[in-house]
Structure 1
Amino acid sequence: MTITSLLFAGLFALVHLGIGRMRFLDQAPRSRWLSAAGGVAVAYVFLHVLPELAAHQQTFAEELGTSKATAEGLVYSLALTGLVVFYGLERAIRVSRKRTAEGNHGHLPDAGTFWIHIGSFSVYNVIIGYLLLHREETGGWSLLAYGVAMALHFVTNDFGLRQDHQERYDRIARWILAGAVLGGWLLGRLADLPEIWIALLFGFIAGGVVLNVLKEELPEDRESRLWPFVCTAAAYALLLLAI
Structure 2
Amino acid sequence: MWEPEATVVKSISGVGGALVEFEPGTGVVFAAAIALAVVHLLAGGLRAIDRVPRSGWLSFGGGISVAYVFVHLFPELEERGEILEESDVFVAAFFEHHVYLVALAGFAVFYGLERLVTRSQQDDTSFEISLPDAGVFWIHIGSFALYNGIIGYLLHDRAGPTATVLFAVAMGVHFVVNDSSLREDHEHRYHDVGRWVLSSAVVVGAAIGAFFEVGEALVAVLVAFLAGGIILNVIKEELPENFESRWWAFAAGAVGYTAVLLLV
Report the TM-score, using the length of structure 2 for normalisation.
0.84
1:99 — aligned with what?
A: 123
Structure 2, unpaired ranges of 5+: 1-24, 126-131
2:48 is aligned to 24
For residues 64 and 75 of structure 1, the distance between their equivalents in structure 2, rounded to whole angstroms, comes to 17
Structure 2 contact 65–170 (Cα < 8 Å) conserved: yes
Match of 2:74 among 41, 50, 60: 50
Alignment partners' CA distance in 2, 1:93 and 1:242: 40
What residue is the counterpart of 1:199 in the other structure?
220
CA RMSD, Structure 1 to Structure 2 (Å): 2.0
Partner of 1:116: 139
* Distance in 2 of aligned mates of 1:64 and 1:49: 24
Alignment of 1:149-160 (within 5 A): 149-160=170-181
The corresponding residue for 1:161 is 182
Deviation at 1:150, TM superposition (A): 0.4
Whether contact under 8 Å (2:51, 2:243) holds in the other structure is no
Q: 1:28 is paired with a residue of what secondary structure?
A: coil
Residue 119 of structure 1: how far off its partner (Å): 0.6
Q: Identical aligned pairs, as a percentage?
A: 47
2:234 matches 1:236 = no
Distance change >3 Å, CA 61–CA 71, structure 1 → 2: farther
Secondary structure (helix, strand or coil) at the match of 1:201 reads helix
Residue 221 (structure 1) aligned with residue 242 (structure 2): yes
Match for 2:226: what amino acid? I
* TM-score, normalised by the number of residues in structure 1: 0.91
For 1:149 and 1:73, how far apart are their aligned partners in 2?
Answer: 28
2:139 aligns to what SS in structure 1?
helix
CA distance in structure 2 between the partners assigned to 1:140 and 1:113 by the alignment: 38
SS at 2:155 equivalent: coil
Q: Distance in 1 between matches of 2:107 and 2:97?
A: 15
Quickly say closer, same or farther: Cα 1:50–1:81, change in 2 above 3 A: same
The answer as to whether partners of 1:63 and 1:196 remain within 8 angstroms in 2 is no
Distance 2:124 2:189 in 1: 15
Moved over 6 A (4+): none
Q: What is the match of residue 163 of structure 2? A: 142
The whole-number CA distance in structure 2 between the counterparts of 1:219 and 1:27 is 12
CA deviations on 1:120-153 (whole Å, 9 max, x unpaired) are 1111111110111124xx1122112101100010
Per-residue Cα deviation, 1:197-232 (whole angstroms, up to 9, x for no partner): 111110100000000001111111111100010011
Matching residue of 2:148:
125
Query: Partner of 1:18: helix, strand, or coil?
Result: helix
User: Which one-letter code corresponds to 2:178 in the other structure?
Assistant: N
AA aligned opposite 2:141: I
Report the alpha carbon displacement of residue 80 of structure 1 after superposing the two structures with TM. 0.4
Q: Which SS does the other structure have where 1:192 is aligned?
A: strand
Q: Tell whether the 8 Å contact from 2:59 to 2:245 is kept in structure 1 after alignment.
A: yes
The answer for the alignment partner of 1:104 in structure 2 is none
Which shows bigger deviation, 55-64 or 204-213?
55-64
CA distance in 1, matches of 2:258, 2:85: 29
Equivalents in 2 of 1:127, 1:116: separation in Å? 17
Tell me if structure 2 keeps the 8 A contact 1:100–1:110: no
Q: Give the count of matched residue pairs.
A: 234
**1:73: how far off?**
3.6
Q: Which residue of 2 aligns with 1:106?
A: none
Residue 65 of structure 1, CA deviation? 4.9
Deviation at 1:240, TM superposition (A): 1.2
Query: Comparing both structures, which one devotes a greater share of its residues to helix?
Result: 1
Unaligned runs of 5+ in 1: 102-108
Cα distance in 2 between the residues matched to 1:127 and 1:56: 17
Distance 1:224 1:63 in 2: 45
